[in-house]
Amino acid sequence: MSTPSLTTRLEVGSRRVAMNLAAGTLWYVPGSFGIVRVLGPQYSLRCVLFHDVSDTESSFTRGLDGTVSRKDFEAALEFLTKHYTPVSLHDVLASFDGKPLPLRPVLVTFDDAYASISEFAAPLCLKFGVPALFFVNASCLDNRQLALDNLVCYVANVFGMDPINAAIRSSNSEGDFEVRSLTQVFSHFLPRTSLSARQAFRHALTELTGISEPDLASEAGLYLSSQQLRDLAKFNFELGNHTYTHANCRTLSAAEFAGEIDRNKAVLEEISGTKVRSFSVPYGSSVDLTIDLAQHLQRSGYKAAFLAEGRANSTGSPEFHLDRVSVKARTDAAFFSEIEILPRLRRIRNRILATSNSGSQPRHGHLEKAMPTTWNGDPSQDSATGADVSRGNLGV
């Protein structure tokens, strides 16, 4: 039985540490927030992204790289509240109507439906006076079903990659596709897989491994209960849409928007009694925010859409293309690097590549490897955009 290769994840993690060490040295220079403006003075709204806040990883999350410890999360809140002004989605939307944002605004967001956000992160946010935006997949509520990413992660950790490849072969008409790591599942196989093939893959995984998914989901207890979802408003959390099953939006047809997007919004609003007015693209890639999807969101009354490509938002960033940074740092210097320096460098890189490619979709190649986005919840990044393509940015 083969085991999942962690090589790519470790390489990405090492690059992130190396970049943070190099870039973070600026943190110790007096006036660092002013100096870093030479890399881009127009950095306006900082959006940070978390997934799971827990001191331990399980077979369902180990390898997704989307978990931060409670201590590290608290350190992040300390850094953010000391050096930034936390804002709510309401503040962000008001800024698009002309009301200025405060100095160094930061919006804290969470993706996916982990119960740890309700149990640990939300009380800490309340303690620090930080409002937040939580993008939830309603299919996971009350632990009725595992998110596919957690199911794949569990199978890889417990059974190895063989049943994953067998499930791919049985659900993929193209035949010869083989993956050797979780990274490849999330960055190469799933993004190009239709919703129906994705469901067939999921079914094959449970058949091949003999898993009783309802029992496993209930036993794992990874996700929010409906009551916890309702209670989030007490912590100044607003709910957002992240699709019903954490679908790859790139392959969604207009007809499938109803089941994945409209249904998720309706369920979240019914349970919480609050309005859902923002959308976070699962896996965070701008490639997945198709024109059809953006138009559907606008027609449906959404006010903002979020990505996770780790780039700086300028004052002119459109409300349906707000980027976020996955934060995995542990020191002030590393936070400074991840939030202030790397997003600016990625923005510069994209401008250069867009110019050199003159009109074609920019690809990042080795530059992307040198400046990884900090989260790889899916332990990996989309090869075309550098987005976190896992659930952990697990994308996202």
What character string, x for contact with Zn ion (CB under 5 A) and - otherwise, covers 106-135?
Answer: -----xx-----------------------
Give yes or no for residue 323 binding Zn ion (CB under 5 A): no
Q: Closest distance between Zn ion and the C-beta of residue 396, in Å?
A: 5
Residue with nearest beta carbon to Zn ion: 111
Closest CA to 286 of 362, 357, 183: 362
Closest CA to 186 of 20, 305, 308, 364: 308
Which stretch, 104-112, 124-132, 171-179, 351-359, contacts Zn ion (CB under 5 A)? 104-112
Residue type, 40: G
Q: Closest distance between Zn ion and the C-beta of residue 395, in Å?
A: 5
Please state, as a whole number, how many other Cβ atoms lie within 10 Å of the Cβ of residue 130.
24
CB nearer Zn ion, residue 39 or residue 232 = 232
Cα 81–82–83 angle (5° rounding)? 100
CA distances from 368 to 259, 313, 381 (A): 34, 18, 9
CA distances from 75 to 71, 82, 329, 343, 362 (A): 6, 11, 9, 20, 35
Eight-class DSSP state of 103: S
Q: Closest distance between Zn ion and the C-beta of residue 154, in Å?
A: 17
CB nearer Zn ion, residue 362 or residue 395 = 395
CB nearer Zn ion, residue 111 or residue 238 = 111
Which stretch, 9-17, 222-230, 304-312, 388-396, contacts Zn ion (CB under 5 A)? 388-396
Give yes or no for residue 211 binding Zn ion (CB under 5 A): no
Q: Is 123 in a helix, a strand, or coil?
A: helix
Give yes or no for residue 260 binding Zn ion (CB under 5 A): no
Which stretch, 17-25, 202-210, 317-325, 383-391, contacts Zn ion (CB under 5 A)? 383-391
The phi-psi region of residue 67 (left if phi > 0; otherwise alpha if psi is between -120 and 50; otherwise beta) is beta
Q: How many residues bind Zn ion (CB under 5 A)?
A: 6
Q: How far apart are CA 247 and CA 148, in angstroms?
A: 9
What is the rounded (10 degree) CA torsion for 310, 312, 317, 320? Answer: 20
Q: Closest distance between Zn ion and the C-beta of residue 290, in Å?
A: 17
Closest CA to 47 of 281, 360, 368: 281
CA distances from 123 to 55, 70, 82, 119, 391 (A): 16, 11, 18, 7, 23
Q: Closest distance between Zn ion and the C-beta of residue 384, in Å?
A: 18
Q: Closest distance between Zn ion and the C-beta of residue 292, in Å?
A: 20
The rounded radius of gyration (Å) of the Cα atoms in the chain is: 20
CB nearer Zn ion, residue 195 or residue 396 = 396
Eight-class DSSP state of 260: I
Residues 49-68 that bind Zn ion (CB under 5 A): none
Give yes or no for residue 396 binding Zn ion (CB under 5 A): yes
What character string, x for contact with Zn ion (CB under 5 A) and - otherwise, covers 336-375?
Answer: ----------------------------------------
Q: How far apart are CA 341 and CA 88, in angstroms?
A: 23
CB nearer Zn ion, residue 39 or residue 136 = 136
CB nearer Zn ion, residue 52 or residue 91 = 52
Residues 268-307 that bind Zn ion (CB under 5 A): 282
Cβ-proximal residues to 357 (8 Å cutoff; 6+ apart), any chain: 363
CB nearer Zn ion, residue 19 or residue 247 = 247
Q: Closest distance between Zn ion and the C-beta of residue 100, in Å?
A: 31
Q: How far apart are CA 51 and CA 248, in angstroms?
A: 17
Q: Closest distance between Zn ion and the C-beta of residue 360, in Å?
A: 28
CB nearer Zn ion, residue 63 or residue 395 = 395
Of 63, 191, 310, 395, the one binding Zn ion (CB under 5 A) is 395
CB nearer Zn ion, residue 8 or residue 150 = 150
CB nearer Zn ion, residue 39 or residue 396 = 396
Residues in touch with Zn ion (CB under 5 A): 111-112, 282, 391, 395-396
